[in-house]
Structure 1
């Protein structure tokens, strides 16, 4: 990276600040015309400087024209230049996420695009992530936000060992290096913000019936480490949803992650008892008991805003019974399926073979069941279960390998930053000193031990469990 480029950008920023402070012409009258002369993709800093002045604290000038320029900027700015004006971009994103300056559908799309232009890997959490999630969920504009929400968060603002890079314009930098409260791209983030974000993400995935991702999002909330080892209100709410989603995702009640805090796990057993009772019956053939258990706690589902998820669970009960039949059969008649499965919505078997066949066809169409419906010469209709996955063709395999290689390359700066952060942490250094001393002591006693040496659990957790 040429240092002259960084110097040029800094000089340009100084001149822009002077120009905006004392413009030769009033920007409220001529700002929109000035934007017509600037290309937001080429001169992003100049464009944003004028745009920021026209938008904040209030929109000045022709409103429709300025808002059109705003959208054009957010969709097309040069991310390299914008690294030098993070605070101005954050103020613009905050304004847009307010939901009053642009139509929500446009605002969500524009902010989502801007976030990923700054950090294509989507690995760094910022205050704009939570603002985006709130706007997307509250206005039901979920689809355009998913490209951000689906990204795996690796870094958070305020993490230790941050140091200012020599050149912000270095495009090989990890997002944790140039996206920081010191560079202005984010406000400080508290634990409550992270929990709310994952909670909203889980609810958005639920609205799309993406139970796999919803389960993972709620699980992040449920297992979040707390200072006193207990659980907050939002963690308890997430646990209830996590139980229901686990039934939809796995077909049964799953145990809490091993890394869940003991005190939190104990609270969940009490606070989530009605949900656990439903979960315990889901993996049985007692459809009537499940229906009764659900009806008994209708008031609880309403108070917890989980009526929709409960209905999804009742609907999925018979579907999971059908899917579990593939553990016994490779091929089974529709008539047998009707006799062996029941609906939790009615507590009994379906009234006709046509009803069960229609249910199975819908499952196949939605890809929740791998199978085909066939008819024998005697007219008997069968369901044949298919393998969960089929072998890829050579071309498909090559395409998957190329896609994986691109993903791994994108993760390289993240890996390097994580490795550096680990290598300079106090806990890791203490652990390495202990390991070197242990190795020296053991080599004196038995030089043949080599790989047989092990690390005590206490040492592995040193500095992790007791740092809060």
Structure 2
């Protein structure tokens, strides 16, 4: 191995030159290294140094990502074959997850096949040892290193969402799943970059089917990603993030006369999450096609009824409706959300009291609110105090409760909500500014893609023709536009940017 190390570590130069390599020089150098390492046999890559060390203990994956990945895969292959020349399974696991958290984001763009194989090996190893939760963090870390913007959907994103759901390790997956997806693999209008090592490139330019950093995603797989992401945030009780993920599935382009089962499932959950977030049945986003909206209203009628009762009905009626449709909630795996909805009813009632009172006693709250979990009022003021204390502690209620001094406890509502400290305000301003700059850049990119997208051009031409026809016939009525501009939508895949 000692004589091979010079070849394995020949690029990039270390320490780095005073004048950074140009993209051209970097591209040539790394391709040459890949060719050299690619010619080395598995046997050579498994050799130890003269001091008896494994190459994985000698090479730094953050500096020399290419050779480390190839040696790592050689060890994975040896383990599968039962070859004892590789490292043991426990050591290999540590090396794999360490690699996913440390690889160089520039070099990795050239070895999509290898990265995908390592991610798959991490997932498979975690499943085989019944510790799927351990794979979530490393895979999420790898995706963030590959694309810090998080705007490009890959097949690994879908695997991550499934892993998170299967293992209930929601927190480690959340940073990736919470990113706004703007692109899916296969956009035909993307110009091939001259050098994929250009660090100013949008992820849509280097995470491609050709780079093997992702595979093609089928139409239903894209919908499943949004549904599963929403379910992850439901598991975290993050209703706002869950609503956005589910909305991505609900509003995804579909043929005018039909919607998929996944979209309907997402809509049912979207209704319930919307109620938990805002206490009412939310209107469908304007980007939802009229045909899809009709299907949703028919297929999710019990859910819409629950939402309407929550907003305008009584606790007893809400509980009765929930009990009547128990089989529906169970069949749709939404029983948990229904229980959350019942528990939220009285909380919304308590928060609504702030519109009328600045201060109110606990016994008055008991008399004016009702639990939808039981259909009756709370049994005593102590139960109400406990509920309110939990609401204040979790940030669901901005108020203070004074202890009794010869009389009942009093709840004082905060008119301005939770106040941020000056450092917190500064952090929020910085984060908001960074998000605006990032989104502005990506919006320009998606605009360029749409400008050359054949399906979108046809849609614009059709809309223009329809407008002229309406004008010529004197039709002044307003009709909903045909949102399904991708008429060639198929189950296999969908091209272009997403919104």
TM class by shorter chain equals 0.7 to 0.9
Secondary structure of 1:50's aligned partner: helix
Secondary structure of 2:111's aligned partner: helix
Out of 55, 64, 71, the residue aligned to residue 76 of structure 2 is 55
**Counterpart in 2 of 1:402?**
430
Deviation at 1:404, TM superposition (A): 2.9
Task: Give the 3 Å change call, closer, same or farther, for CA 431–256 of structure 1 in structure 2.
Answer: closer
**Counterpart in 1 of 2:27?**
6
**Counterpart in 1 of 2:36?**
15
Normalising by structure 2, we get a TM-score of 0.82
* 2:115 aligned with 1:89: yes
* 2:242 aligned with 1:221: no
Out of 164, 187, 198, the residue aligned to residue 192 of structure 2 is 164
Task: Give the 3 Å change call, closer, same or farther, for CA 432–313 of structure 1 in structure 2.
Answer: closer
* 2:65 aligned with 1:65: no
* 2:317 aligned with 1:262: no
**Counterpart in 2 of 1:446?**
none
Normalising by structure 1, we get a TM-score of 0.87
When structure 1 is superposed on structure 2, of 194-203 and 101-110 the one drifting more is 101-110
Distance 2:455 2:166 in 1: 41
Deviation at 1:459, TM superposition (A): 13
When structure 1 is superposed on structure 2, of 213-222 and 38-47 the one drifting more is 213-222
* 2:274 aligned with 1:253: no
Deviation at 1:111, TM superposition (A): 0.6
Distance 1:148 1:463 in 2: 28
When structure 1 is superposed on structure 2, of 145-154 and 216-225 the one drifting more is 216-225
Q: Deviations over 1:73-99 (max 9, x none)?
A: 111111111111112111221222234
**Counterpart in 2 of 1:27?**
46
| Runs (5+) with no aligned partner, structure 1 | 436-455
Q: Deviations over 1:136-191 (max 9, x none)?
A: 11111221111111111111101231222111111111111111111110000111
Deviation at 1:396, TM superposition (A): 4.1
**Counterpart in 1 of 2:494?**
none
Q: Deviations over 1:238-283 (max 9, x none)?
A: 2221221121111111222222222222222222122222212112
Deviation at 1:314, TM superposition (A): 0.9
Distance 1:129 1:340 in 2: 47
Out of 348, 353, 377, the residue aligned to residue 320 of structure 1 is 348
Q: Which has the higher contact order (CA 8 A, sep 6+)?
A: 2
**Counterpart in 2 of 1:210?**
238
* 2:252 aligned with 1:236: no
| Runs (5+) with no aligned partner, structure 2 | 1-21, 464-476, 490-499
Aligned partners of 2:66 and 2:108 also within 8 Å:
yes
5 Å matches for 1:41-190? 41-56=62-77, 59=80, 60=83, 61-63=86-88, 64-98=90-124, 99-100=126-127, 103-190=131-218
**Counterpart in 1 of 2:367?**
339
Task: Give the 3 Å change call, closer, same or farther, for CA 144–398 of structure 1 in structure 2.
Answer: closer
Give the total of aligned pairs: 447
Out of 299, 307, 325, the residue aligned to residue 271 of structure 1 is 299
